Each structure stands twice: as structure tokens, then as C-alpha cells.
Structure 1
Amino acid sequence: MCASGSDVLMLLTGCGSNSLSNAVLYSGDRGETWERLALPADASGWQTDAVRLLGELPENGIALYGLNPKATGLDGLLVAWDGVLACFPSLSYDTGPQAVPAQLALEDYDGDGADELAAMLCTGTGTGVNVWSLYVFEQDGRALTLGGMLDADDVAAAELGLPAGRYVGSQVYFGTEGDGLRIFLGVTDDRGLNDIGELTGAVRYDGQTLSLNPAELTYQEIA
């Protein structure tokens, strides 16, 4: 259940792959009355839908949704995976005004023999700014949990092995390469006006955290 003030969200989730076993119930009056919120099939109703489709892997029974704070008073993400539905109120996405599709990938990132879901979402845009976050989710058939995350604040605070006078800029991207996760950073100098370099490399997942190793990151000045 997700709650903020008088706004409450309740999830009813089944155990199978039948999407009809999942339901999202919303109350704007502290649970006095409830309405069922639709899980949209596309992003055509981005401005008005209470729940927004951010991305999906239909062949794997996976869909990622974002709560519309203007419609529900709530923030966060919903993840549906093979009949299991979970709410993550502390996770964010760029709520608008334009829809920015998430990138989803399913691989065994920690080598435990089970696939994890990597979700790469835009969390901030503006003039010269394009910032994404990386979330990795685990599913065991009964529960869906957040295994690890990296956002722009985590990256800025990490030891990246950058040269003196070089800092993380306002371009932070995540992606995949083969069966691994990658990071792509714009790098700026003391003035912070424009990117003068880029940092790329592997993101490691150990089943509990996402991490960056300076030895696996490559810095290059932009000519």
C-alpha cells in the first residue's frame, strides 16, 4: 500500500501470469471510498491517466508504470512481472510534461542463475540537462523487490577516478551492453558550463547493490 495525506493506493496481486489477477485501487478520502485505476496499454493518455505506462517487455509479462502525482497525489513506480504487482513509492521518474519511455532489460546481472529486471528511467530534463536513474528489480515468484539503484546523486558522490578539476556534469545515462549494465557520463570542469569530457564503463550488480569501479571506467576528453 502507498499513502500520502488522504491519498491511498492499494494493490491486489495474483500469483499467475493472468493480468486480470492484478488490480490497483485508489482512495482520495483515506479509504472511505475506492475506485479501480486502469493499467494503461500505452502512453496516449499521459497527461490524464492516473497510472502511466513507462515501458514493457510483453514477451516476459513485464510492465513498468509511473503514478501521476497530479491525478493521485502520490509518487512512485509500479512494477508488474509475471502476475506479481508491487509499488515503490520512493522511486522517481520524469513526470512530464512529455512522456520519456523507460528502457527495460532482463538478464542475470549478478550470476545467480535468475534474471533481474533493469529499468533505466529519465528522472530530470532541462536546458543542457538529461539525467537518468538505474533500478534493478528481483522477483522470486511471490514477491517483487528492489535489488539496487543508482541515481545522479549516487554517481556524483562516488569515487570515479576522474582527473583533478573534472566533475560529473548534467548528462547521466545508463544502458546495457550484451548481458551487462553500462554508465555514460558527461564530465565538466570548474566552470561547469559545458561538458568537456565523457566517462563510460561497467556498472556491477552483486544481488544487493549497484556499484562503479574506477578501474572499469574510461575517461576521454572531448575534442
Structure 2
Amino acid sequence: MFSDELEKYDWDETGRFIASRTASDVRAALRKEHLTVEDFMALISPAAEPFLEEMAQLSHRYTLERFGKTISMYIPLYVSNACANCCVYCGFNHNNPLTRVTLTMDQVKAECEAIRELGPFENLLIVSGEHPKINGADYIEQVIRTARPYFNNLTIEVGPMSAEDYKRLTHSGLNGVVCFQETYHKENYRKYHPKGMKSIFDWRVNGFDRMGQAGVHKIGSIV
């Protein structure tokens, strides 16, 4: 499991190693065709700051080699701001005094039709707060089935689910899952996520394993 891999690393030790990298380490990393983890740590170290333009040019070159001059566009559809979490940085925070709205399927259909009128968008990102009783797997499945006829690619950014639920959603037309992981530092994670399902660190990070087990085609982690 992903959480088991994270336990192998000591954050303080890793931080000290990154801080100890030198300009020579950065230059050596930039000359390599295939980088190691240690090379990566050199490139994100304070010593790498003078080399940002060189790194940007390399990044541009590799991007063109692998993807060409293409841009993938997507459009988000926010279907519910109901949330049981109390993340300190989020506007959806359960304790925030705001009107909660969860779209009906008729409203989802109307939004999909309005998006299609905007232009040739084929990638839809379905976004929701995390409230299992209101916008859990059953609700998201309805949204996917409603949106499927309008778009070639459906991705969700919602609360993590079980492998069984992810598998069910793939059978309903789901193509991908995006999951924000604001930090992998357990102590800091507890500060920012004090209450709700998102406060359970292992459930969150192991969601990527469950997505893979369910056969989700595209899995994205955003930090």
C-alpha cells in the first residue's frame, strides 16, 4: 500500500539531505539522461535556484519530445458543495456558514447541455465536496450516467471511495480520478484536516491503490 511506502521515509532526514545539496550536485543531475531520486532532490534544493531557467528549458524540450505541441483542455462541473470535512483551507469546510447546493440530475443535464454549447469540450471534470450521505458513490454514479452521453472523457474529483465503488463507476462510464493530496507529511496533515473522512490519512493516500485495483484508466495525484 502507498501508506506503507511513505513509512519508509523520514521527513526530517529527507529535508536535511535536500538542504545539503550543492551547485555541483545540481549540475551533475542536469547532465544526466536518467535521474535518480537523489538527483531529483538536488533539483528541488535551494542550491538549484540559479538553475531554474536551465531546468525550464529542459522541461520544455522533454515536453515537446513526448507530447508535441498539444494542449488538453477540460472543463469542471461542480455538482455539490455539501461536505462533512473541516479542512482549514477550504471554502467547502463543513463549519462555514454558506448555502449548500447539490444538483439534481435534471440540473446536471442542463449544465452538460450548456457546456456543449460553449464549444468542443470533450473532457469533463466532475467536482464535489465529500459528504457520503449526500454526494457519495450512488450520487456520483447518477451524475456520471447523466453526463456520459455528452462527453468522451469523464474524470471525478470527489472524496476517496472503496475499490468496489470505483469499479462500479468505471462500469458506468468513469475514465479517470483526480485526488488532491495537500501534503504527505502526517503531522502537518493532521493540522490541516482536523475532522471528517479526509482526516484519516491512510484512507486518503491508499485511495490510489484502490483506484488501480478497480481498473481506473487514468489516476492523477495533485500536491
Larger RCO, structure (CA 8 Å, separation 6 or more): 2
Q: In proportion to residue count, which structure has more helix?
A: 2
Flag the structure with larger Rg.
2
Common fold, TM-score beyond 0.5? no
